[in-house]
Structure 1
Amino acid sequence: MKTNKHIQDIIREAALSRDKAAKRELLIKSGGSRSWFYDAIKKYKEIGEAFFIHKNKNNKHAQKRTHMQALEISRIFRDEYLNCNFRDFMRYLKADKRYDYQWVSYSYIYNILRSKNHCSKLAHKKTIKLLAKEEELKNRPQSLLVPSSATERAKENIHIARPRTQRRGHVVEADATFWRFSDEEIWALHGYIDEASGEVLGLYFDHQETTEGYFNALKPVLKNYGTFEVLRTDKRRTFWSEKKESSPEDSWIQFAFVAKNLGIDIQSSISPQFKPRIERLWKTIKGTITTFMEQNKVTNINEANLVLPKFVEYLNNHVVTLQKDFTTNSFKKFEGDLNIILGHKSIRVVARDLTVTYEKEKYFICNFTTPLNIPRREIMIIQCCDGNLIASLGDNYYSMIEFDNEMLYKSKVVLENEGVKPEDMPQKIKSISVWAQSNFIFFKKKYSSWYKKHSY
């Protein structure tokens, strides 16, 4: 292959030669056209060696990246966006009106920050180890250096990727992680992610990993998407117990009871590889949530929960790579009352005076304002998400009124009218499952037939 130097030597030799045959041989060697060859000889004779100098040799590119720009970008990342990953830093830098860096690309940002030994929050463990080793090698004396190949240094035991399901809404993964908001506060972030598409469905902050936190994170999932078929979780007591393995309705697990009635099958495992999408999501979130909260000026956990829907939308639109190759959508529209369904449920026994005790307070189970004559009966008490109390028995639900003298008089009137004596009170009903005695309002016939097959 002929280089520029070879072409220049051919043109110089042809300009000095007067032999036409020799010029024809040089033309063939140059590989150019006849007109170009003789034009080059003519211009070389006119201006000499200046003919070989490109006209833009000393001109500066309009968008040339200077060393000062690289230093400034590195300083901005170190001082203002150190808790941010490289791609989010590029977005924030372009949107920041204080600087004129709308032209930067991801590769330019990446090369600058890596050259300054900055590490992204989303960096793989392999990359972090390599950077640490390179830093160690720089500080080690030359006499102690041992040559090693990059391939050997990069060897890692990587888990085989788990294949995705082909139906959106078929499998949903749930988990929680802890995130340090400040030196004094650490919050637990509860979340759900669709396994097929990788879409973040719901997030919620709480001070600890709690059942209530999982319920609050489930609210936007049921409201915006509907119910799903399978929920993959770890073996936390919120989802799993040894008793649940033999009889789910006897497990006394709040979340398991709600999931069973919604037709959701809970699958639990102690292995993190059982739910890899949500585990990988936490690493992605921790690389961008700190900067997002700072941008929205969040100061407490309540404000953080208010901006989480906006953060979920940001993740799905800009950060998470959504999969488009799923075949069908298995989400089913949900029309139940979330205030009742996700409330806390417990079993109480109605006393002889027709009252029940809940959190050291006495209440009457009333049909409107009349106490029910159901002494020694087991009944389910539901503390709704808004704090109100209702009672559920069979297919009906009733209001709960606090104990006072007026209600006590009404209860005595009811007992006297019925002619019930204390010794003739009905005995306590024994059943296989106290949970099975309650059938929520959302299992009534007015709802779709899909709920009927999942009710008790």
Structure 2
Amino acid sequence: MTQNERNKLYIARCLLDGKMTISEAAETLGLSERQVKRLKKGVKEYGEAFVIHKNRGRKPPHALSDEIKNLVVEKKNLEKYSRANFSHFQELLEEYESISLSKPSIYRILVSNGITSPKKHTKIKLHKRRKRKPRRGMLVIVDASPHAWFFNNEECSLHGAVDDATGEILALFFAPNECLEGYFRIMKTVISNNGVPLAVYADRHTIFRSPKTDKLSLEDELSGKRVKATQFGRAMSELGINLIWAKTAQAKGRIERLWETLQSRLPVELNIAGITTIEEANAFLAAFISKYNEKFAVEPREPQSAFHNLDDNINLDHILCIKETRQVDHGSAFSYGSVYYRVIRNGKPMPIIPKVKITVLKSPQFGLKVQYSGSIYDVEVVEQLPVKETAPKQPKKPRIPIKPAENHPWRTKTIAFPTTIYDESDREILDALYSSRLAWR
């Protein structure tokens, strides 16, 4: 019996003994006079048990059975579900085990059995929230997250792109490390599936921003000096995409929040699917992205999309690649990576004027190609450089010394020397000159 029920029982006895009026009892208990009369009558007819609620000790008809509770705890203790947070675990039970329970029910069952969620909410520093862009494609945020995505505890990097307006995942790609190729792959997926965005938001990693940028002085910038763009920056410029560098991690908080969610959910999903390699994981990501966007993506404020189609005459692979300049030697050959290659067209060597600059394109998608005069050509490895053709040298004619004739002016003409000697040094110079004259004769 609770204290409140004891108070009701005491007041009921006072009413039965005539020690208190109905109005006084109603004021003391905070009840209406009708309820007080009902209490007095019930205690008189049924005794002290009347003040106890009739459902006490009875199990509600909609209560979960002990079998269901034990089954939920048993499933949570399985290795494939052990790392899932409570919210994700509720979704997994409904998807894979056909157990449909609410999130609060799952929470109560697990907490009552001493199981805590691996994802705890901690108090964080609040930052001013940046409004979402009104349209899809106005801003795409890219980043990579190193994490032990598989249960073998080996780290790899997951590259990702998120639309700022909707929060939907546009592309994901696994790679052993954060690399340029990973960002090229996600940008190709974004452009192929949606179109070319207006801007890309990235951090200040050297993939996006040259470290020499901070070394420019104010005088250098005023004089027009610029730092050469990175390969990613050059590719974005060719596609007409504005590349924006974030100064803090909070500035690109939408994708940072995505990593927190994926680090909690994706390893569990990969483990359930039995995926342990990067190649299998990349093939699995398409279905995962579709399910994630269906659950978490929001509608943009404006339905029109800011993505625009890529021109038909542009080959995306020839832009999202490494481009470097080389000089052609004789025989249309050039050196790249300590190997000599030759430009070919239709399977035959293409004649190119020596010392001409060409652009070498390198990508895992197509290997090595050359861009020359606005066209793309294949290359082949040259085992030995062709011999440079040179014109035959003419034999040198023997040099015949020329001796002046006896009547040559040099022999006959008299040199007039100045009569005025300024100092002894002038006299010495004139004497030496006169002596050489006599020696030549």
Fold-level match, TM-score > 0.5? Answer: yes
Give yes or no for contact 2:157–2:177 (8 Å, CA) kept in 1. Answer: yes
Instruction: Report the counterpart of residue 330 of structure 2 in structure 1.
Output: 352
> Structure 1 pair 96/328, CA: closer, same or farther in 2 (3 Å)?
closer
Matches within 5 A, 1:136-147: none
Unpaired runs of 5+ in structure 1?
A: 16-21, 127-155, 424-456
- On the 8 A contact 1:364/1:400 being kept in 2, the answer is yes
Q: Distance in 1 between matches of 2:225 and 2:138?
A: 21
Change (3 A) 1:163 1:116: farther
**Higher Cα radius of gyration:** 2
Q: Counterpart of 2:232 in structure 1: which amino acid?
A: F
2:364 is the alignment partner of 1:366 = no
Contact residue 366 and residue 372 of structure 1 kept, 8 A: no
SS at match of 1:271: coil
* Map of 1:258 onto structure 2: 235
Change (3 A) 1:235 1:54: closer
1:166 aligns with 2:133: yes
Conservation of the 8 A alpha-carbon contact between 1:259 and 1:266: yes
Identify which range, 381-390 or 48-57, moves more after superposition.
Answer: 48-57
Aligned CA distance change for structure 1 residues 116 and 354 (closer, same or farther; 3 Å) = same
Equivalent position of 2:192 in the other structure: 223
CA distance in 1 between counterparts of 2:309 and 2:392 reads 49
Distance 2:100 2:151 in 1: 32
Within 5 Å, give how 1:260-299 maps onto structure 2: 260-299=237-276
Q: How does 1:296-311 map to 2 (within 5 A)?
A: 296-311=273-288
User: Tell me, what secondary structure is at the counterpart of 1:353?
Assistant: helix
Note if contact 1:164-1:195 (Cα within 8 Å) is conserved in structure 2. Answer: no
Structure 1 CA distance, aligned partners of 2:53 and 2:119? 44
| Superposition pairs of residues 326-345 of structure 1, within 5 angstroms | 326=302, 328-335=304-311, 336-345=314-323
Work out the CA distance in 1 between the residues paired with 2:391 and 2:63.
97
CA distance in 2, matches of 1:313, 1:238: 28
1:209 paired to 2:207: no
1:393 counterpart = 2:372: yes
Aligned twin of 1:92? 92
Identify the residue that residue 325 of structure 1 maps to in structure 2: 301
CA contact (8 A) 2:340 2:383 kept: no
Mean Cα deviation higher: 385-394 or 241-250: 241-250
Cα-to-partner distance string for 1:191-225 (whole Å, 9 max, x where unaligned): 11111211111111111111011111222111111
- Alignment size in residue pairs: 372
Is it true that 1:113 corresponds to 2:89 in the alignment? no
Deviations 1:326-367 (A, max 9, x none): 564211123542332222222211102221223314223436
> 2:99 — aligned with what?
101
Give the TM-score of the pair, scaled to structure 1. Answer: 0.67
On the 8 A contact 2:210/2:228 being kept in 1, the answer is yes
State how far apart, in whole Å, the 1-side matches of 2:46 and 2:118 are: 58
Q: CA deviation at 1:49?
A: 9.2
Instruction: Give the Cα separation in 1 of the matches to 2:361 and 2:179.
Output: 18
Distance of 2:164 and 2:391 partners within structure 1:
59
Pairwise CA distance, 1:47: 8.9
Q: Partners in 1 of 2:340 and 2:151 — Cα distance? A: 38
8 Å Cα contact 2:167/2:254 also seen in 1: yes
Deviation of 1:310 (Å): 1.4
Q: For 2:287, what is the secondary structure of its paired residue?
A: helix
- The aligned residue for residue 439 of structure 1 is none
- How far off is 1:251 after superposition? 1.7
1:403 match: 382
SS in 1 for 2:143: strand
Q: What is the percent sequence identity of the aligned residues?
A: 27
- Determine the C-alpha separation between the residues in 2 that align with 1:95 and 1:182: 21
Aligned to 2:160: 191
The range that moved more, 342-351 or 162-171, is 162-171
TM value normalised by structure 2: 0.69
Choose from 203, 206, 210 the match for 1:241.
Answer: 210
